[in-house]
Amino acid sequence: AQSVAQPEDQVNVAEGNPLTVKCTYSVSGNPYLFWYVQYPNRGLQFLLKYITGDNLVKGSYGFEAEFNKSQTSFHLKKPSALVSDSALYFCAVRPMNTGFQKLVFGTGTRLLVSP
Amino acid sequence: DVKVTQSSRYLVKRTGEKVFLECVQDMDHENMFWYRQDPGLGLRLIYFSYDVKMKEKGDIPEGYSVSREKKERFSLILESASTNQTSMYLCASSLILDRGAEAFFGQGTRLTVV
């Protein structure tokens, strides 16, 4: 079965420190991978995606993610966290070998950046 | 910018009512989705449509139906609302996902069934 795991319910980091939000996936074949962010009482906003090519992907608001095929991971990173980065983050995968147009989401990780 | 608009931010309905959630997108996207978001469960796909009048069941279609009469509009229908359908509902649209297109989300509708 296709699945996405976000092993941490919450990540705490001090402002100015680097942050990492973890994501691993399980799909057959090569996937498309996505990160989304959700602020309170809002919909999801697209941050970045991996399709092919360079394993390091840069996205909005200074975020980046590294695709690691051997570890089936796609961790979200930022060199210096801001208090305004506090939000709920979702990893998603689109399996490439299925005809069904579907994104599979993880359960989300709440990021809390303290001043 | 792509805009996905859901008709209501907050709704309160009574058990047994028929409930309509409306979603409109303005980017001529082929795909439209309805997700349900619950704490600890992430987003779960209810229904998906890849063209006008075409639909596919997602992971949790029971108790729901959908309608897509026009390309830009995708409606979610709760045939007889129940308290376990209290949740955040998110509509999304995208180009064909085979090329790695991302989905764009509406602001969400928080539905409470009493």
Contact status, residue B65 vs residue B49, Cβ threshold 8 Å: no
Query: Any CB–CB contact under 8 A between B48 and chain A?
Result: yes
| All residues at 6 or more sequence positions from B107 whose CB lies less than 8 Å from its CB, including other chains | A42, A43, B5, B6, B9
- According to DSSP, residue B84 is labeled G
Task: Mark yes or no for CB contact B107/A43 under 8 Å.
Answer: yes
d(CA A34, CA A39): 17
Q: Which residue of B27, B54, B102 is the best one to mutate when testing the A interface, meaning the one whose CB has the most A CBs within 10 A?
A: B102
Query: Any CB–CB contact under 8 A between B61 and chain A?
Result: no
DSSP bridge partners of B64: B78
Query: Any CB–CB contact under 8 A between B87 and chain A?
Result: no
d(CA A111, CA A8): 10
What's the token pair of residue B46? 């209810």
Task: Mark yes or no for CB contact A100/B43 under 8 Å.
Answer: no
Q: Write out pLDDT tens, residues B43-84.
A: 999 999 989 999 999 989 999 999 999 999 999 999 999 999
pLDDT bin (cut points 50, 70, 90) of residue A38 is very high
* pLDDT given at position A101: 67
Q: Write out pLDDT tens, residues B21-41.
A: 999 999 999 999 999 999 889
Average pLDDT over residues A30-37: 91
Task: Mark yes or no for CB contact A32/B90 under 8 Å.
Answer: no
